[in-house]
């Protein structure tokens, strides 16, 4: 029997933590490459679409309030088909964690730890992630409570300090002979907000109280607002041409802020610590999802599924070091996001529709 529950506020902080990840370091670069100065419009539309997609996950969760996503899939689809559909989702979480750990280690090595071997950075981060997942979802909720206000304060402060360096002319013209590119950028914009599926894993651990969806919605809106604002500010500060050559614009943006005070001479060192916390939380949540997926896939009891963490950490560590070329890792990462987005768009809405139909028939 579950005696401890996540609060409604923790639903928000966990959702924000799952959506924020390495994407926050490079989302501006890819959106500008696709839609130039209108990349923020594609990102905003993709974010709004993600809210509708997230609602499908939320609806699936509330229809089965005592089960998480892998258990729901086996209940609705049966043991064989359910495991068949679950396997790609489980594999995605491990690959995502491994590739994002590698990308963030590259960013740290470039901006902060230039003499530290990349395998050491990844290994240390994954060990801490493994221990956090091992301690369980309620410890993860407490970690989210600590990281959330620090990250929000840092991002807001960086945005405010960057406004004075913006040139609004770099955002013009808006939608001038660029509508096709904006439309093509909507799907890539949507994939940067993946992580909202965490609600289908944690809803069974939350208090059954009204207003949970409001907090979940807030957890969706906060990343959308910050991603769009970071893209707008980055375009205004660096211009479209410069952004196309910056792989990690967010870290470069923090580096460009100047202060007369000596103790803030290298702001990127301070903000890098905050990005470590953000990516760390995202890795924890994706590993938690992967542990639950593989535990249900292999028929392991909840009592012992936390021991699956160490096997998956080893798998993610191998994934993170397989590709020697850093640029190629970024391509793999984006391909993985696109493939997973398409897969879940095909699988989850029909599954939710079937669950609704099944519930209606049972009432009749």
Residue 42 has pLDDT above 90, yes or no: yes
Whether residue 57 lies inside any domain: the answer is yes
Residue 364 has pLDDT above 90, yes or no: no
Query: Of 2-6, 58-62, 353-357, which gets the smallest average pLDDT?
Result: 2-6
State how far the Cα of 292 lies from the Cα of 140, in Å rounded to an integer: 14
Mean pLDDT of the 209-214 span:
81
Whether residue 143 lies inside any domain: the answer is yes
Cα dist from 223 to 183, 261, 346, whole Å: 21, 31, 24
Percent composition of the chain: helix, strand, coil (DSSP 3-state, to 5) = 80, 0, 20
Whether residue 1 lies inside any domain: the answer is no
Residue 46 has pLDDT above 90, yes or no: yes
List strand residue ranges (DSSP E) for the chain, in order: none
Residue indicated by tokens 């280690």 = 105
pLDDT tens column, 144-154: 999 999 888 88
Whether residue 3 lies inside any domain: the answer is no
3-state secondary structure of 364: coil
172 DSSP assignment: P
Question: What is the pLDDT of the chain when averaged over all its residues?
Answer: 87
Residue 284 has pLDDT above 70, yes or no: yes
Mean pLDDT of the 90-100 span:
91
Enumerate residues 6+ apart whose C-beta is below 8 A from 145. Answer: 9, 10, 13
Structural domain tally of the chain? 1
Whether residue 330 lies inside any domain: the answer is no
Query: Of 110-114, 238-242, 271-275, which gets the smallest average pLDDT?
Result: 271-275
Question: Of 200, 253, 257, which Cα lies nearest the Cα of 230?
Answer: 253
Whether residue 364 lies inside any domain: the answer is no
pTM of the model: 0.91
Whether residue 253 lies inside any domain: the answer is yes
pLDDT tens column, 221-233: 999 999 999 999 9
Predicted pLDDT of residue 259: 55
Residue 38 has pLDDT above 70, yes or no: yes
State how far the Cα of 360 lies from the Cα of 91, in Å rounded to an integer: 33
Name the more confident of 49 and 111.
49
Predicted pLDDT of residue 339: 93
Residue indicated by tokens 């028929």 = 299
State how far the Cα of 138 lies from the Cα of 7, in Å rounded to an integer: 10
Q: Helices 267-298 and 79-111 meet at what angle, rounded to 10?
A: 160
Based on its alpha-carbon atoms, the radius of gyration of the chain, rounded to whole angstroms, reads 20
pLDDT band at 301 (very low <50, low <70, confident <90, very high): confident
Q: Which domain holds residue 187?
A: 8-325+341-357
Cα dist from 299 to 42, 202, 245, 296, whole Å: 42, 19, 47, 5
| CATH, residue 132 | 1.20.1740.10
State how far the Cα of 196 lies from the Cα of 15, in Å rounded to an integer: 6
Query: Of 70-84, 165-179, 248-262, 286-300, which gets the smallest average pLDDT?
Result: 248-262
Predicted pLDDT of residue 1: 43
Percent of the chain with pLDDT over 90: 43
| β-sheet bridge partners, residue 206 | 6
End-to-end CA distance of the chain: give it in Å, rounded.
Answer: 30
Whether residue 335 lies inside any domain: the answer is no
pLDDT band at 136 (very low <50, low <70, confident <90, very high): confident
């Amino acid at each position: 029997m579950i005696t401890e529950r996540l609060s409604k506020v923790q639903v928000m902080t966990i959702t924000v933590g799952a959506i924020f990840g390495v994407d926050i370091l490079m989302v501006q670069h890819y959106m500008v490459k696709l839609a130039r100065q209108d990349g923020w419009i594609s990102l905003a539309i993709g974010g709004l679409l993600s809210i509708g997609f997230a609602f499908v996950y939320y609806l699936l969760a509330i229809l089965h309030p005592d089960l998480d996503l892998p258990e729901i899939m086996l209940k609705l689809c049966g043991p064989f088909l359910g495991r068949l559909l679950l396997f790609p989702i489980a594999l995605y979480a491990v690959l995502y964690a491994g590739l994002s750990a590698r990308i963030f280690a590259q960013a740290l090595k470039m901006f902060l730890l230039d003499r530290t071997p990349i395998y050491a950075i990844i290994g240390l981060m994954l060990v801490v992630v493994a221990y956090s997942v091992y301690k369980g979802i309620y410890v993860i909720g407490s970690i989210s409570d600590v990281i959330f206000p620090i990250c929000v304060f840092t991002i807001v402060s960086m945005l405010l300090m960057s406004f004075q360096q913006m040139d609004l002319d770099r955002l013009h013209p808006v939608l001038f002979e660029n509508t096709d590119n904006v439309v093509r950028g909507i799907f890539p914009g949507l994939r940067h907000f993946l992580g909202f599926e965490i609600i289908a894993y944690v809803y069974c651990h939350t208090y059954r109280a009204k207003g949970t969806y409001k907090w979940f919605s807030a957890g969706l809106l906060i990343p959308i607002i910050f991603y769009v604002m970071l893209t707008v500010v980055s375009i205004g500060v660096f211009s479209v041409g410069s952004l196309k050559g910056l792989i990690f614009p967010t870290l470069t943006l923090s580096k460009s802020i100047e202060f007369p005070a000596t103790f803030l001479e290298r702001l990127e060192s301070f903000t890098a610590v905050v990005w470590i916390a953000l990516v760390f939380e995202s890795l924890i949540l994706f590993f938690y999802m992967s542990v639950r997926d593989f535990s249900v896939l292999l028929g392991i009891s909840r009592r012992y599924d936390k021991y699956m963490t160490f096997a998956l950490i080893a798998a993610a560590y191998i994934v993170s070091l397989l590709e020697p070329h850093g640029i190629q890792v970024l391509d793999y990462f984006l391909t993985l996001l696109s493939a997973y987005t398409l897969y879940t768009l095909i699988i989850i809405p029909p599954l939710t529709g079937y669950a609704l139909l099944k519930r209606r028939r049972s009432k009749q």
